[in-house]
Chain A
Amino acid sequence: EPEVTQTPSHQVTQMGQEVILRCVPISNHLYFYWYRQILGQKVEFLVSFYNNEISEKSEIFDDQFSVERPDGSNFTLKIRSTKLEDSAMYFCASTGLPTLSSYNSPLHFGNGTRLTVT
């Protein structure tokens, strides 16, 4: 079964450094997402991406964050200058077209990148 893959699985960086988290969504999916989950807390929406542009973003997704789909397969999240509070699991997800029975297709998640900012 096709799956969403994320690299690296764990990234340690110093405060103020830039990080790029990488994702390969399922190949025929059209919508791409980044979510984050701070340890012990809820899964929080960051951004959705469709047709090569951001379709929606949350308050968390400030100017320090950016997303890109540099080629036909990768979807990246860049944090320009990391802060201690950016430490979290970052999940990439993708969905296909809405089905006949549901306006919203289910999210397929990767296994996440654990970002630790020291």
Chain B
Amino acid sequence: TQLLEQSPQFLSIQEGENLTVYCNSSSVFSSLQWYRQEPGEGPVLLVTVVTGGEVKKLKRLTFQFGDARKDSSLHITAAQTGDTGLYLCAGAPDYGQNFVFGPGTRLSVLP
């Protein structure tokens, strides 16, 4: 069974601060995705990373896939209250479509 770990589990910061959250595994994934989930809603895709070492930017969010395709990070610059939510990483194994989710990082950005 391929497992994903995320850290930190909880993060509370002030608006304007920068933060990084991590997603780690001992397994290799063909692709890794980041989702954000708000209470009472399903996860919403933020980004997919595919190539080892890949960096993708989405406005203030920067995603990196590790060289070995076992880990990923999400960096948020100048956090805003609207960034509050549960950030989930999900990995797909080399073969097949089954996605494994990490437990998530619950981010709270305070005004």
Contacts and interface: CB of A to CB of B under 8 A. Distances in A.
A105 B92 CA distance: 10
A104 B92 CA distance: 7
B90 A42 contact: no
B100 A107 contact: no
A95 B92 CA distance: 13
Interface string A96-118: 00000111111111111000000
Contact of A103 (B30, B43, B100): B30
B45 A104 contact: no
Interface in A26-67: 31, 33, 35, 41-45, 48, 50, 55-56
A27 B97 CA distance: 18
A55 B95 CA distance: 12
* Tier of interface size on chain B: 20 to 34
B82 interface: no
Contacts of B104: 42-43
Contact of B33 (A35, A44, A55, A106): A106
19 contacts: A35-B101, A42-B102, A42-B104, A43-B43, A44-B101, A48-B97, A101-B50, A102-B31, A104-B92, A104-B99, A105-B97, A106-B45, A107-B33, A107-B35, A107-B43, A107-B45, A109-B35, A109-B42, A111-B40
B55 to A, nearest CB: 15
Nearest to A91: B42
Greatest chain A CB density within 10 A among B30, B92, B99 is at: B99
B99 A109 contact: no
- Chain A contact-residue range equals 20 to 34
Q: Is the interface of B mostly helix, strand, loop or mixed?
A: loop
Interface string B39-60: 0111111001010000000000
Interface in B60-111: 88, 90, 92, 96-104
A23 B103 CA distance: 24
Contacts of A102: 30-31, 48, 50
A101 B43 CA distance: 22
B2 to A, nearest CB: 11
A36 to B, nearest CB: 11
